[in-house]
Structure 1
Amino acid sequence: MGTVIGVDPGTALLGYGVIEDCEPPRPLAYGVVATQPDRPMAERLLQLYRELDQLFQRYCPAAVAIEQLFFARNVTTALAVGQARGVVLLVSAQRGIPVVEYKPAEVKHAVAGYGRATKAQMQEMVRLLLDLPVVPQPDDAADALAVALCHLQMSRFERRLEERGGGGLR
């Protein structure tokens, strides 16, 4: 498969995690793109675009994994996250990189083995699965790594199904 980039979209902080598909999975980079809240939204989105494009150029991912948007209460936050997601989708499409979306419960189940795992449980599992000395910080980076790990797990499972003639999941 190559490399996968997981993204935790946001306009203030956009988390990313780059993982090489090997056994065990190897983290290549993780962190956040931080924008200034006092800047106009158009400038913030342009910054996200430019920094993501550089990241994608550097690591040439085979896929981009992102969590499906789900906000029950805060419409303003949902709109901002939706705008950041749009930037991720645009950069991916321009580079011909497939984007795969996962539900939060799918990410939790794939990484922690339990669809209702807590944030702390998820962060510790990311640390363990990637053999990191400490939990990745900030939380947005850990969340992005979790989505990338989820994609690796799901991709491996789908490949095994296809090898056995059972077709894929998606």
Structure 2
Amino acid sequence: MDGKLILGIDPGLNTTGYAVIRRLDGATMHLCEAGVIRSRQRDPMETRLAELHAGVSEVLQAHRVDLMALEQLFSHYERPRTAILMGHARGVICLAASQAGIPVTHFEPTRVKKVITGNGRAPKSQIQQAVKLQLNLTAVPEPADVADAMALSLCGHYLGSGSLAER
């Protein structure tokens, strides 16, 4: 996987975090770009989804991404509306990847936490610290959506190609 670019995406309808990483040599990882794609909550659903699609497509066009690592749908039974909205966001993100010819791997939040920190129930602050260390950053990544996207891109690196993915 040397030199390959991995895009991690923490999907959301209001704020979607993204991070592009590259493996330089051996185990050295380099953060190429990270940020958020935002939509306005007062806009109609179709406008927000179009903005999300355009934002993800722009990131894909700016980088020659080899793999997208996307957070799997997660919901609590008390909040089914949240799962439905997240499904819309994931759908347009997957559409952008498909249009760009990028394969997508899906990771459950607990799997990402386990891989990055060793604890499947790690708090956001622990994820941020682990990502800071693994990407050799000078500061803890903010906001948490960006840190989560970095964690997803690292999971895409660690698990996205072959035997480790089945464990």
| TM-score of the two chains, using structure 2 as the length reference | 0.91
Paired with 2:82 and 2:145, the residues of 1 have a C-alpha distance of 15
**2:37 match:** 33
- Unaligned runs of at least 5 residues, structure 1: 162-166
Alpha-carbon distance change, 168 to 144 in structure 1, aligned in 2, over 3 angstroms: closer
Q: Match for 2:61 among 47, 57, 63?
A: 57
Matched letter for residue 58 of structure 2: Q
The DSSP-based 3-state class of the residue aligned with 1:145 is helix
CA root-mean-square deviation: 1.6
Q: 1:124 to 1:168 in 2, by over 3 A?
A: closer
- The equivalent of 1:19 in structure 2 is 21
Q: Is the 8 A contact 2:159 2:165 kept in 1?
A: no
Matches within 5 A, 1:56-135: 56-72=60-76, 73-135=78-140
The one-letter amino acid paired with 2:54 is R
Structure 2: 5+ residue runs without aligned partners? none
- 2:10–2:71 contact (8 Å) kept in structure 1: yes
Classify the secondary structure of the residue corresponding to 2:70: strand
* Equivalence for 1:148: 153
Q: Cα deviation per residue 1:40-70 (whole Å; 9 max; x = unaligned)?
A: 1101111111111110011121010011111
The alpha-carbon deviation at position 168 of structure 1 amounts to: 6.5
Residue in structure 1 matched with residue 49 of structure 2 by the alignment: 45
Give 1:164's aligned residue. Answer: none
Alpha-carbon distance in structure 2 between the residues aligned to 1:119 and 1:54:
27
Q: Give 1:116 shift.
A: 2.0
May I ask how many residue pairs the two structures share in their alignment? 162
Tell me if the contact between 2:105 and 2:160 (Cα under 8 Å) persists in the aligned partners: no
Q: Give SS of 2:20's match.
A: strand
- Segments of 4+ in structure 1 off by > 6 A? none
Q: Which amino acid is 1:54 matched to?
A: E
The whole-number CA distance in structure 2 between the counterparts of 1:50 and 1:104 is: 25
Worse overlay, 107-116 or 1-10: 107-116
Secondary structure of 1:32's aligned partner: strand
Q: CA deviation at 1:127?
A: 0.7
Q: Tell me how far 1:133 sits from its aligned partner.
A: 1.3
| TM-score (normalised: structure 1) | 0.89
Question: Aligned partners of 2:79, 2:165: CA distance in 1, in Å?
Answer: 35
Percent identical across equivalent pairs?
37
Q: Name the SS for the 2:142 alignment partner.
A: coil
- Measured in 2, the distance between the counterparts of 1:92 and 1:124 equals 29
